[in-house]
Structure 1
Amino acid sequence: MQRGRAPRERGDAGRPPRRRELLAGMGATAGLLLLGCRGEPVDLRAQAAIAAGGSRGYAGPAVELAFWTGFTGGDRPPMERLIARFNREHANIAVRMSVTRWGDFYQKIPAAVDSGHGPDVAVMHADQLATAAVHRTILPLDEVTEALGLGAGDFSETLWSAGVFRGRRYGVPLDVHPLGLYVNRAVLAGAGLDDAALPRSRRDYLAALEHLKRRGIQGSWVSPVLFTGGLMFQSLLWQAGGQLFSEDGARAMFHAEAGVEALSFMVELIRRGYSPRDVGQDADSIAFMNDRNAFLWNGVWMINTFKAVPGLRWGVLPVPVIGAQRAVWGNAHHLVLPRQPGAGAGHRRLQAAVVFLAWLSEHSLDWAAAGMVPARREARESAAFRRMTEQAIIAEQLPAVRFPPAIAGADAVRASTLDLAVNDAVLLRAAPREALSRAAREADALLAGNLKKFGRVL
């Protein structure tokens, strides 16, 4: 994925982050928000048209492509293997991957592109495309995808539409990484629960947690931070029929009744004793790996981590339907083409970059080794992917996956308002309605500034 990460060490429960630390941590995406549009005289559509020529292949002089990603964890080796294979198959194109932590990546890439030292190809999360687009950091890809013959049918309507901002495409999906509900089978068995007790609904979930509580087990640790408490909140918000922001990006919507209902559910898990108070960063996952937590809301990226824990008996399910409808938070890695500084070799690299982009998209199944759900439909429907049992289970949720909205700067607004409200409520420092209302007022002011800077989304 992923801006989330595997826990640091088994047995290290950490501590709750302070508000100041959360504000500092949001700087990763806020850096993009503060840059402002520079309005360079580069014709983005002209570059996109040149790039589209790569759909016919590349037969020019040898070129080297810079490929930037944030794959610093267990997702790095699978991508390195794919790049090595591509380089073997393409004598005149050499791809060199540069890896930076996602927070640093999103701060670095706009300035690098502006200075003419950006990459030829990059990976971005779906929720970053709008901000990168308004900064002219990345090229529109409509002509490229049309030339490649790619469309929603090759992926899914949900995945395909997540790459669009203001009616233009900016990303080609490589994967999707939703949340799932991980279950610790040893904890459940110790409490006398079998597969019949695995929760699919609110009623099932609360019944299982009450049973576990009577056995002295706090079965659903609620995290106060974005990974994964914030993602749990967003899932519950959408299940309750709510939205993060208005469609035009002008107002916060997360404080409406659906948001209060979602956050109140999380707080109630704590007040009923189903979760400890003051759960530290990664403590929910660490407790799960130490057979102290029965249910864990976390992303598909945890599959490889749990497989590597000796003796851990676990499984995964779609997240339970707590609200009125199925919905689950998800994000996706997208392949993007950053703006290039000039002609000549730059034009050749644009075409070669499309060859690499198309090849990587076609090898979506191989990328699933990183613990992701492949974006390409043919990969998800293959027998090979169905044998990846846990990923295939999480992939069942694809029709219910909800992506963060395509609003420029929204990620930074959310990080500095909503994430802090969830933190305050889950740590029992503020009531859900109070925390969300305060955050919404702050978000509205930031959104108003964004609208002046970036213009309306619709």
Structure 2
Amino acid sequence: MTDQPTPRDLSRRMLLGSFGAVGAGAALAACSGTSTPPGAAPSSGAFGQGATYSGPKVSLAFWNGFTGGDGPFMKKMVDEFNKANPNVTVSMNTLQWGDYYPKVPTAVASGSGPDVGIMHIDQLATNAARRVIIPLDEIASGLELTEGDFAPVVWNAGVYKDQRYGIPLDIHPLGFYGNTAQLTKAGVDGLPTDRAGFEAAVKALQDKGGVKTPFWVTATWPAHLMFTSLIHQFGGGIYDEEGAKATFNSEAGVEALEWLRGFTQSGASPKNVSNDAQAVAFRQQRNSLTWDGIWMMNEWEKVQGLEWAASAIPTIGDRPAVWASSHNFVVTTQATKDPNKLAASRAFISYISERSIDWAKSGQVPARKSVRESADFTALKVQSTLAEQLPNVVFPPSVPGIGDVTSPTYETAVNEVILGKKPSKAALDEAAKKADKLLADNRSKYQA
């Protein structure tokens, strides 16, 4: 996955929403079924203390999936760390996310993988259960990191079976983008914030703005992420709190999906919008309003003559809510073979986290509170605007295999309904039955 995507990057889109690429064949040994938390926790003191490393020279393999426009930002930060820490050499290896998640477990098992890596929030429990990554409670305490140093939602989402497996780097939510020139022509003052305002803006754009289809609802990406935001806004959720049962076929789920489908039925959206076509249309000024990830801000900036603004996802239901994901630092079991690598990993993670203002420029909201409260971040207009959504972010439960359930279940249901192939309730009910079976299989598979 890149976080500055292109229309051709279908694998990135699918992975960010579902993370289905980590199949059983890529797994290490699953959880043993004992009450002992998974992961090969290092011995006490292995990570050392503080944010610096003063041991002998050591090399760290750092893997991630930042193969797009975000990659140069991270590469620059790694180079700066290496210059500031001559006794640590961090080698950065980037893979497409579709290759990354299957490859990491087997590479770590053979000792040829990363010592430090990046994983998305819904991959932490899976890789902890597979013993690919280790608990980071000691690194957090050594750096004196607590919930108060981060956005609480992302800090708490990094815990699995009472142990921390991720140090959050960022949060990347959906954002709401509007063509301000077209809105002005239609007599709409700013981006709407609620259902009535949004629906009125769509009508005004059609009637006064000369835009036939102002809001394109895709049949694929990012429709299921929009659905995730909306179902929570209507008071529902994708799963129960334990991640043991699908709840997306609730009244809230039907209401959310019917609202989306209404735009294709009314003609405000074309009826068969393919993956990323809405983003292409926004670039070409053929639509006026679009919901997409924060990372798209850098794509809009490249378009000459496009006048646009960003704001939080409008509150269509009774409460604000927004889908988001997060990149987290992880340390693998491979690194536990060398205590110097563990100590150097701590210093590297601390360095990048403290300087994540540079990462924010790639189109991210820093997880670190001190960075978000800085004047430098406030000056980043889009990022700071979309950061206001953090209290409303929703993440999936911390359950192994949760990401593998998305694509064949409610993502498919959303697709079928938007295309007019099935009624909303029937599609969601069918998907929920399939999801419950997959969730049960995962509990058996990971003995969770």
TM-score with structure 2 setting the length = 0.93
Report the alpha carbon displacement of residue 22 of structure 1 after superposing the two structures with TM. 7.6
Describe the superposition over 1:396-455 as per-residue Cα deviations: whole angstroms up to 9, x where unpaired.
111111112211111111111111111111111111111111101111111111111223
Mapped pair 1:246 → 2:240? yes
Q: Which residue of 2 aligns with 1:210?
A: 203
Q: 2:188 aligns with which of 176, 189, 193?
A: 193
CA distance in 2 between partners of 1:401 and 1:38 (Å): 30
Q: Which residue of 2 aligns with 1:166?
A: 161
On the 8 A contact 2:61/2:115 being kept in 1, the answer is: yes
Output aligned runs, 1:207-286, within 5 Å: 207-214=200-207, 215-225=210-220, 227-286=221-280
Q: Give the match's secondary structure for 2:440.
A: helix
Q: Choose the corresponding residue for 1:76, options 43, 51, 71.
A: 71
Distance (Å, rounded) in 1 between the aligned partners of 2:203 and 2:37: 61
Rounded to whole Å, the distance in 1 between the matches of 2:294 and 2:284 is 19
Q: Which amino acid aligns with 1:419?
A: E
1:284 alignment partner AA:
Q
Higher alpha-carbon deviation: 447-456 or 422-431 = 447-456
Between the two proteins, the alignment pairs up a number of residues equal to 441
- Of the candidates 316, 322, 326, which is equivalent to residue 316 of structure 2? 322
Q: Give the equivalent residue in structure 1 for 2:7.
A: 7
Q: Which runs of 5+ in 2 are unaligned?
A: none
Instruction: Tell me: CA distance 1:32–1:97, structure 2 relative to 1, closer, same or farther (3 Å).
Output: farther
5 Å matches for 1:349-428? 349-428=341-420
Q: Per-residue CA shift, 1:362-418, capped at 9, x if unaligned?
A: 111111121111111111111111111011110111111111221111111111111
- SS of the counterpart of 1:329? strand
* Structure 1 residues 272 and 67, CA gap change in structure 2 (3 angstroms): same
Going from structure 1 to structure 2, the CA distance change for 1:438 and 1:3 (only over 3 Å counts) comes to: farther
Q: In 2 relative to 1, CA 249–48 (structure 1 residues): closer, same or farther, beyond 3 Å?
A: farther
Q: CA deviation at 1:248?
A: 2.4
Q: Is the 8 A contact 1:48 1:141 kept in 2?
A: no
Partner Cα separation in structure 1 for residue 412 and residue 313 of structure 2: 24
* Alpha-carbon spacing, 1:2–1:167, altered in 2? closer, same or farther (3 Å): farther
Query: What amino acid is aligned across from residue 200 of structure 2 in structure 1?
Result: A
Distance in 2 between the 1:336 and 1:268 partners? 42
Q: Following TM superposition, by how much is the alpha carbon of 1:185 offset from its aligned partner in structure 2, in angstroms?
A: 1.3
Structure 1, residues 297-320: CA drift from partner, whole Å, max 9, x if none?
001100111111111100001110
2:110 pairs with 1:118: no
Provide the secondary structure at the position in 2 that maps to 1:5. coil
| Contact 1:174–1:364, Cα closer than 8 Å, also in 2 | yes
Match of 1:182 among 177, 181, 195: 177
Contact 2:135 2:165 in 1 (8 A): yes
Contact 1:45 1:140 in 2 (8 A): yes
| Counterpart secondary structure, 2:370 | helix
Q: CA deviation at 1:113?
A: 1.3
- 2:99 maps to 104
How far apart, in 1, do the equivalents of 2:27 and 2:116 lie?
A: 21
From 41, 47, 52, the equivalent of 1:57 is 52
Sort the Cα spacing of 1:89 and 1:330 in 2 relative to 1 into closer, same or farther, 3 A. same
What is the distance in 2 between the residues matched to 1:36 and 1:137? 7
Specify the alignment match of 1:94 in structure 2: 89
- In 1, the alpha carbon distance for the partners of 2:335 and 2:183 equals 58
Residue 334 of structure 1, CA deviation:
0.4
Uncovered stretches (5+) of structure 1, i.e. residues with no partner: none
- The TM-score with structure 1 as length reference comes to 0.91
Cα distance in structure 1, aligned partners of 2:393 and 2:437: 29
- The verdict on how the C-alpha distance between 1:263 and 1:34 changes in structure 2, with shifts beyond 3 A counting, is farther
DSSP 3-state at the match of 1:29: coil
CA contact (8 A) 1:50 1:347 kept: no
The whole-number CA distance in structure 1 between the counterparts of 2:43 and 2:282 is: 47
Q: Which of 125, 128, 139 is the matching residue for 1:130?
A: 125
1:194 Cα deviation after fit: 3.2
Deviates more, 1:52-61 or 1:70-79: 52-61
In structure 2, relative to structure 1, the CA distance for the partners of 1:42 and 1:297 (3 Å cut) is closer
The structure-2 alpha-carbon separation of the partners of 1:381 and 1:56, relative to structure 1 and needing over 3 Å to count, comes to: closer
In structure 2, C-alpha distance between the alignment counterparts of 1:43 and 1:299, rounded to whole Å: 33
Per-residue CA distance 1:64-86 (angstroms, 9 max, x = gap): 11000000111001101101100
SS at match of 1:177: strand
AA of the residue aligned to 1:321: T
Alignment check: 8 A CA contact 1:202 1:322 kept: yes
CA distance in 1, matches of 2:170, 2:64: 14
Question: Aligned-pair distance for 1:59?
Answer: 2.1
Over 4 Å off, 4+ runs: 1-4, 25-28, 38-46
* Compared CA separation, residues 45 and 223, structure 1 to 2 (3 A): same
Superimposed CA distance per residue, residues 315-347 of structure 1 (whole angstroms, 9 cap, x where no aligned partner): 00111000111100111110110112764xx22
Q: How far apart are residue 2 of structure 1 and its match?
A: 4.6
Cα 1:337–1:160 shift into 2, 3 Å: same
1:332 partnered with 2:326? yes
Does the 8 Å contact 1:186/1:291 carry over to 2? no
Superposed CA deviations along residues 77-128 of structure 1, whole A, max 9, x for unmatched, are 1101101100000010011100001111111111111222221110111111
C-alpha deviation, 1:245, in angstroms: 1.3
Asked whether the 8 Å contact 1:139–1:338 carries over to 2, the reply is yes
For residue 406 of structure 2, give the secondary structure of its aligned residue in structure 1. Answer: helix
Q: Are 1:444 and 2:433 counterparts?
A: no
